[in-house]
Amino acid sequence: QVQLVESGGDLVQPGGSLRLSCVVSGYTLDYFAFGWFRQAPGKEREAISCISHTDRAIYYRDSVKGRFTISADDASNTVYLQMNDLKSEDTAVYYCARGYYCAENVMPSYEYDAFGQGTQVTVTS
């Protein structure tokens, strides 16, 4: 059974940076795709980035392209999300997720079936 534990969320000013971490246990990173979702108050959860377990293809939602970077460290079995130039609209609870598919142009939400507990990111001046 896979377990996902996120950390790194914080309160940050607009333009600031944060790095989220997701420690994966139960499986190595080459068994599944892993991704990040977020859910803002009053909004639906949205997929923002993923990394493929087969060819390490990476997907980014348009609103985070050029600002967020996903990476995977096999040695520590950890998936990271580096977030730069944060904006108030990035405020949300961020969830790490295990999935079965990730490609450069698509991250189907229905392919992700296990989520961590979430970490809060608040961007405010």
pLDDT 10s digits, 16-34: 999 999 999 999 998 899 9
* pLDDT for residue 112 is more than 90: yes
Chain segment 54-110, per-residue pLDDT in tens: 888 999 999 999 999 999 999 999 999 999 999 999 999 999 999 999 999 999 999
Confidence at residue 71, expressed as pLDDT on a 0 to 100 scale: 96
Greatest pairwise CA separation for the chain in angstroms? 41
* pLDDT for residue 36 is more than 90: yes
Distance CA 59, CA 78 (A): 18
